[in-house]
Structure 1
């Protein structure tokens, strides 16, 4: 991890790890839009992403408000300057049912053709004080972005709130590091997180000083 940019987790509480670069690279299955080392976090209680399950969970779509992460603060993972802040995209209905997920997957190509901003939804791009490293925090809740270009931020500062905008099937935080401010032409940069606890599938807990959370683990700041 000598070449990885070191970040703080961009949230409080417990979050499930999905699309981890600890499992595969490119983590999201593509190098497009600098997502090579991107990682997703979904807020959980235990391992539940929502407290409600009903017929909509099995057969249709669900309101994003029923998910635990929706509206939770998203924090700056490092010290830097805001270079882009986009808001105004709607929060989509969420999808957990296989039927709803299949329909969404079939429209993935059209969303990709719409470009990186359409995929990211409401998002913030930070230029870290580490030279040549930019971090994207994506899928923020509409109306929640609290920063503007040129603003300085530090670890723990609130930049927005978790939402379900852009290419998202349920509220989550997408984090990626890249070597330029424009995801259309930038390349992904490896990332690692400082000072967290990782809850494994077997129930074990380990303290991590610096690492990349494993797929399917649950993490929280130490």
Structure 2
């Protein structure tokens, strides 16, 4: 699903000149990736660390000079300095939160010492800062700490990558919306790419056509199976945002949603009883989707838009968020 960074005024968000995270970009095999620095279990680009260090040291103009020419065309130095100074009043530290690297775009996120403000940097394949996002953060501790009663397995085989997921809006754009707060967007990647070959063809994407499995036993309560798959990185189907979908009722007030499935791939019908691990359908690119991926979430009702999302309790104590991989047995 596309994410568009827009300006909401000084102290909120600075306009950026970068591609959307879910947008696939063809990368030459000879392109040198930005160097990364290890930080515990996470990584970040050296360029992003240098940019944030300059901000931390109060050298806002120096940080600005590290950004791309396209960014500078959209945001003047004066605007950047004024906007960041207003946003960072009382700031003591930026703490690295996550790193994502897919299709030649690199995203690093930070939160402040109180988890009240967030910073996102986008870096291109040459290591140039192409986007800066400053955003106030809101948390929902009551629901963050209320996990599903059932423990769920990964709804697929192999290893999948969390494109969007986690307990704040920096790593999970769904988080601002109660009905999708704990949703995941999941893709497959190899060597930093989600596809091989022509990025304008669904068949080029590693996730496309992969089997989607029931993560727990349940009854099928809703199936959509006739929506055409989108052309990748083209127009999305906003009129039918979930695309082809299967919804399972697990019988305890918890419902699993599997959205953006491949046209005609559903293997179940309403009323079917499925067991954990049963095949539901295939990963596709239908609905409000810019490339093949699985949108997965658990909610307290079968109506996606009028139910509340529940944070998933995963097997093996996993707590995946953006940039992590979810392994399946």
* Deviation of the 1:3 alpha carbon: 2.8
Q: Does 1:215 align with 2:322?
A: yes
- The reply to whether residue 49 of structure 1 matches residue 49 of structure 2 is no
The size of the alignment, in residue pairs, is: 183
Aligned partners of 1:70 and 1:138: how far apart in 2?
Answer: 13
Give 1:198-209 correspondences, 5 Å limit: 209=316
Question: What runs of 5+ residues in structure 2 fail to find an aligned partner?
Answer: 1-143
Query: What secondary structure does 2:174 align onto?
Result: coil
Cα distance, 1:184 vs structure 2 = 2.5
- d(CA) in 2 for partners of 1:141 and 1:221? 21
Offset, 1:188: 1.1
Query: Are residues 1:16 and 2:157 paired?
Result: no
- Partners of 1:191 and 1:89 lie apart in 2 by 28
Question: Which structure 1 residue ranges, 5 or more long, are not aligned?
Answer: 195-208
What's the offset of the Cα at 1:18? 1.6
Structure 2 counterpart of 1:90:
228
Instruction: Select which of 195, 213, 221 maps to 1:75.
Output: 213
1:82–1:124 CA contact under 8 A, matched in 2:
yes
- Given candidates 243, 267, 270, the residue that maps to 1:121 is 243
In structure 1, what is the equivalent of residue 301 of structure 2?
180
Q: TM-score by structure 2 length? A: 0.52
| Preserved CA contact (<8 Å) 1:27 1:38 | no
**1:23 CA displacement:** 4.4
SS of the residue corresponding to residue 28 of structure 1 reads: helix
The higher relative CO (CA closer than 8 Å, separation ≥ 6) is in: 1
Which secondary structure state, in structure 2, belongs to the residue aligned with residue 182 of structure 1?
Answer: coil
Q: Superposed, which structure 2 residues align to 1:17-32 within 5 Å?
A: 17-24=162-169, 27-31=173-177
Shift of 1:43: 1.5
Among residues 269, 272, 282, which one is paired with 1:151 in the alignment?
272
Shift of 1:7: 1.1
Match of 2:53 in 1: none
1:150 Cα offset (Å): 1.0
Query: Considering only CA atoms, is the larger Rg found in Structure 1 or Structure 2?
Result: 2
Secondary structure of 2:203 counterpart: helix
Answer yes or no: is 1:170 the counterpart of 2:170: no
Change (3 A) 1:133 1:173: same
Distance, in Å, in 2 between the alignment partners of 1:90 and 1:45 is 26
C-alpha separation in 1, matches of 2:327 and 2:227: 28
RMSD after superposition: 2.1
Q: Secondary structure at the match of 2:241?
A: helix
1:63-86 Cα offsets, whole Å, 9 max, x none, are 111111111100011111110011
Structure 1's 215 and 26: CA in aligned 2 closer, same or farther, altered over 3 A? closer
- Cα deviation, 1:127-173, whole Å, max 9, x if unaligned, reads 013x1111100100001000011111122111000000001111011
> How many angstroms does 1:210 deviate by?
1.4
- Cα deviation, residue 50, structure 1: 0.9
TM-score of the pair, normalised by structure 1: 0.75
